[in-house]
């Protein structure tokens, strides 16, 4: 079975906010698009269970993949488990338009195979320090959209958003990036607009209602 729906890869280090992003995206887009989620964890299906617990989508629209070993292998060198999960979701839900594929937490070198992901979002967080954008790596420099999350915590960790903005521009050139606070939904509309427009879903307008997640 072919995988013709739009596939959006969501990568980033452990704790950066990938699952929080998926929860917000699902909540905002589920009434407008036929969508599903695949999560990747090394030994558990914890992220999938988190989304189910918070009712981000119906349970049969969320699949967890236990990758074993190094998590980036399942999204890059051998994406077969993820592709099989997408095929299963398409079988369950004819007309599926969008699948969000969350990678397991990994380092800045993780990338998605083009076979698996049409667009890649990469999430970093302010708490890791304002030096992160200038460290580079494929996630920083080559992702389609870089998401710099947890902006509200910048004062607490002495991180400069101005420095991160400057370095992100330097490292990414013309590629877009956005600052977010995904708990409150700050910046979420920008992420959704990017997916809709760059994923060529723009012919169906999304009237996004951003709500704070507790």
Q: Which residues are annotated as a binding site for GTP?
A: 12-19
d(CA 28, CA 116): 23
What is the rounded distance in angstroms from the CA atom of residue 213 to the CA atom of residue 193? 20
Sorted by sequence, the CB contacts under 8 Å of residue 210 that are 6+ apart come out as 24, 28, 185, 188, 189
Burial of 205 (0-12, 13-18, 19+ CB in 10 A): exposed
SS3 label, residue 26: helix
Binding site residue list? 12-19
Q: How many residues does the chain have?
A: 214
Residue whose tokens read 């195979």: 113
């Amino acid at each position: 079975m072919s995988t013709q729906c739009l596939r959006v890869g969501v990568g980033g280090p452990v704790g950066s906010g990938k699952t929080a992003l998926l929860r917000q995206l699902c909540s905002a887009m589920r009434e407008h698009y036929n969508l599903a989620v695949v999560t990747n964890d090394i030994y558990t299906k914890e992220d999938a269970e988190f989304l189910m617990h918070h009712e981000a989508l119906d349970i049969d629209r969320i699949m967890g993949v236990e990758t074993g070993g190094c998590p980036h292998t399942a999204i890059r060198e051998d994406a077969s488990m993820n592709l099989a999960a997408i095929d299963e979701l398409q079988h369950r839900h004819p007309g599926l338009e969008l699948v969000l594929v969350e990678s397991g937490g990994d380092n800045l070198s993780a990338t998605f195979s083009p076979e698996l992901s049409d667009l890649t979002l990469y999430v970093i967080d302010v708490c890791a320090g304002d030096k992160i954008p200038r460290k580079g790596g494929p996630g920083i420099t080559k992702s389609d959209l870089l998401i710099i999350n947890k902006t509200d915590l910048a004062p607490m960790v002495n991180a400069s958003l101005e420095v991160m903005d400057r370095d992100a521009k330097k490292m990414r050139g013309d590629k877009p990036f956005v600052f977010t606070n995904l708990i409150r939904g700050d910046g979420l509309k920008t992420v959704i607009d990017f997916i809709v427009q760059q994923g060529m879903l723009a012919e169906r307008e999304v009237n996004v209602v951003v709500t704070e997640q507790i």
